[in-house]
A = this chain, B = another copy of it.
């Protein structure tokens, strides 16, 4: 594997490929050319071949890609076969929504428990996931060798709770707080999810459309 030299842009395209392949499989398509795949995803065939060449040879010249095979390879590259364990930290509206609707298992993750500091939540369950006292989360991480914490606490608590997760030995934090966590340990992976990035892209295209219509009216 020549993984470590692979650019972040290539990595970020992998989940998109996976979604497209799921969609193709769902529609009963079992083979696709790089040309057709590119057309459907807004990428050039050469970009697709280049992306996949980072990980080995997936296609067969002239035959295109086997949809199931490629799906299997990409899901492996993304670590979906590793069965990473997850805890949810913070069960406000967002944490609640993620527990009920996200479907962690679908991507190969195991969700073990959720944590909150509010007494009325502790001891209850959401979507069969037990909610424990946030005070014991670091111990829980240590005892269960938890891989990933989903951070969905209020902004004002974000840094303190993140440090507590790191102290417990968490390996990765999926950060929904929109706060820069500033984790000192370089071996802890932090992936921030920024809703605003997506809304601003929408706003750009809306603005472009409006400009076009105005130009046509002139």
* Interface residues, chain A, with chain B CB atoms under 8 Å away: 1, 3-4, 8-9, 11-12, 14-16, 18-19, 23, 42, 77-80, 82, 84, 92-94, 96-98, 100-102, 107, 109, 147-148, 155, 171-172, 174, 180, 187, 189, 191, 193-212
Contact = CB atoms under 8 A, between A and B. Distances in A.
Contacts of A42: 8
A191 B196 contact: no
Contacts of A189: 202, 205-206, 209
Given A92-B97, A197-B16, A79 B204 contact: yes
B78 A203 contact: yes
A202 B180 contact: no
A207 B97 contact: no
A8 B3 CA distance: 25
A107 B199 contact: yes
B174 A199 contact: yes
Q: Is the interface of A mostly helix, strand, loop or mixed?
A: helix
A203 B94 contact: no
Nearest to A96: B93
A19 B192 CA distance: 12
A10 to B, nearest CB: 10
Contacts of A12: 197, 201
13 contacts: A9-B9, A23-B180, A77-B207, A79-B207, A82-B207, A93-B93, A94-B97, A94-B101, A102-B196, A109-B199, A172-B206, A191-B198, A191-B202
A163 to B, nearest CB: 19
A132 to B, nearest CB: 20
